[in-house]
Amino acid sequence: MAATETPMQRERAQTIYEKSKPGRRAAVLPSAGVPEPPLEELIPKELLRVESPRLPEIAEPEIVRHYNRLSRRNFDLDTGFYPLGSCTMKHNPRLNERVAALPGHARLHPAQDPRRAQGALELMWLLQESLAEICGLPHVSLQPSAGSHGELAGLLLTRAYHADRGEQRTKVLAPDTSHGTNPATVTMAGYEVVKVATNGQGGVEMDDLRAKVSDEVACLMLTNPNTLGLFDENIAEIAGVIHEVGGTLYYDGANLNAVMGHSRPGDMGFDIVHVNLHKSFSQPHGGGGPGAGPIAVSERIAPFLPRPQVTRREGGNGSGPSYDLDFDRPKSIGRLRGFQGNFGVFVRSYAYILSLGADGLAEASEIAVLNANYLKARLAQGRAGKHLPIAFDRHCMHEFVLSGKPMKREMGLATLDLAKRLLDFGFHPPTVYFPLLVEEALMVEPTETETKESLDAFADAVEQILAEGEQDPEIARQAPYSTPVRRLDEVKATRQPVVRQALS
């Protein structure tokens, strides 16, 4: 395919430092209005900086243009379908941005006296209550900053729980389908990870689980539905096996979007759940955060929750309830971060919960599951059905995993090639090469906010790419063609890392 350069490709990347010229500036600061002695009279000279950091020197119009042009070199959810499995790329309501930006939220100092932050504490309390109800677990801490931070909280809670009973356990079980943050967290929390196998239905292999449980097991970490998009039907039995040896059960809530209002982790037997507010509860993903990873826990874990906790006191004499921050929690694992958590995220997610309400949340999960099954059915037809078979052929929940193994064998196209060719069709590809269990995996999560038309268009594009691949696989192997840059040399970036702009 003759690659003629698009205008954006012709425009070579130039950093803001390369656009800088001495003497240019944007900011005009207020004058000091106070005496202005030389700095050396206020701070000993040897503690002062000699040369200013070489920040860009550039006026406002060019800053705006620079970042707007850069923004156009991103693909984003507002512009196109983004079926990135496990990430729940659902619509981000702009109402949530508006309410988060209200000065009462955005300009509230985190050290404000709780008596003057009653609205914020009430909001946190209400969000806690809502998440407790959705998860089916009574106590919530909003502190963790993302899913992985919630996982760490969960394992530290597990450690504190066992220590409180005079026990020192060493192992944490996790299925081989688990997300990378699970095993990474296990090590960080000072435990050893033990992998559990997956059975023919995509669930936990019960015999393997039974063989690996012992009183050394502190916890089992599980995602349900799991990363194959399948609900583990043996979950009650699994919970029984773990609880019998005294372990805790941790629910990686990355896939909660499948079951809101339909099934609750607490009822499944889990002790600790994290919720990714940037997935199920519509916080925008921001190009890689911010998010938040609140945890909900059972009674027996509650005494160990992070400090501080939001507490509510019923009012008397006609006054309403009041809210406070409780630091006096002797069994608490302590803080996981500064201040109270990613409050701006709480505002957005609470606005989302208020907008949808009980019915709307259940409907969101229902449509998420309907959309996934529909797209799965569409991709079971035609060439996709032949070259990209479903890894476990049953109804899925909110996402499903295809295997590109036949495509690779028969057409010489790797999953990566298909993904790159999808870019030329204007789609964000699914998650690729995860879960590790499935060869040449493609993990597809459409979410509830996509229309049938979008799903059809995606299925059509896959069909077209496969048809094209039958004729000439080289097209996909060299893709993409239309993106701001084409395939990048990732090996070079790691072997000879250049991680900042050289400045003179």
Ligand X SMILES: Cc1ncc(COP(=O)(O)O)c(C=O)c1O
Site for another protein in 333-372 (CB under 8 A): 333-345, 347, 350-351, 353-364, 366-367, 369-371
Is residue 158 involved in binding ligand X (CB under 6 A)?
A: no
Choose among ligand X, another protein, none what residue 116 binds, the Cβ cut-off being 5 to 8 Å by kind.
Answer: another protein
Site residues for another protein, 84-113, by CB under 8 A, read 84, 87, 89-93, 95, 97-113
Choose among another protein, ligand X, none what residue 138 binds, the Cβ cut-off being 5 to 8 Å by kind.
Answer: none
The least CB distance from residue 403 to another protein, in Å, is 19
Considering the complex, state which of residue 183 and residue 469 has its C-beta at the smaller distance from another protein.
Answer: 183
Choose among another protein, ligand X, none what residue 98 binds, the Cβ cut-off being 5 to 8 Å by kind.
Answer: another protein
User: How many residues of this chain interact with another protein, rule: CB under 8 A?
Assistant: 210
Question: In 281-399, which ranges are E strands?
Answer: 295-297, 309-313, 322-326
Choose among another protein, ligand X, none what residue 120 binds, the Cβ cut-off being 5 to 8 Å by kind.
Answer: another protein
Gap between the Cα atoms of 40 and 498, Å rounded: 37
Taking CB under 6 A as the criterion, the residue among 205, 208, 232, 252 binding ligand X is 252
Site residues for another protein, 114-133, by CB under 8 A, read 116-120, 122-123, 130, 133
Please provide the size of the chain in residues: 504
Gap between the Cα atoms of 110 and 386, Å rounded: 56
Helix axes 343-380, 118-135, angle to 10 degrees: 30
CA 152, 155, 161, 162 torsion-angle sign? negative
Interacting stretch for another protein, rule CB under 8 A, among 205-213, 407-415, 468-476, 490-498?
490-498
Q: Distance from first CA to last CA of the chain, Å, rounded?
A: 41
Site residues for another protein, 240-279, by CB under 8 A, read 259-264, 267-268, 276, 278
Q: What's the order of all strands across the beta sheet hosting 441-444?
A: 400-403, 441-444, 431-432
Choose among another protein, ligand X, none what residue 152 binds, the Cβ cut-off being 5 to 8 Å by kind.
Answer: another protein
Considering the complex, state which of residue 295 and residue 411 has its C-beta at the smaller distance from ligand X.
Answer: 295
Q: Give the DSSP per-residue string, 141-197.
A: E---SSHHHHHHHHHHHHHHHHHHTT----EEEEETT--THHHHHHHHTT-EEEEE-
Residues forming beta bridges with residue 222, ordered by sequence position: 251
Tokens of 205: 């292999």
Choose among another protein, ligand X, none what residue 227 binds, the Cβ cut-off being 5 to 8 Å by kind.
Answer: ligand X
Of the candidates 299, 308, 309, which has an alpha carbon nearest to the alpha carbon of residue 128? 309
Tokens of 453: 């038309």
Gap between the Cα atoms of 83 and 459, Å rounded: 12
Gap between the Cα atoms of 240 and 36, Å rounded: 71
Which x/- pattern, by CB under 6 A, does the window 159-198 give for ligand X?
--------------------x-x-----------------
- Residue 308 CB contacts under 8 Å (≥ 6 apart), including other chains: 325, 326, 327, 329, 340
Which x/- pattern, by CB under 6 A, does the window 261-290 give for ligand X?
---------------x--------------
Considering the complex, state which of residue 409 and residue 501 has its C-beta at the smaller distance from another protein.
Answer: 501
Which residue ranges make up the site for ligand X (CB under 6 A)?
86, 146-148, 179, 181, 223, 227, 252, 254, 276, 291, 293
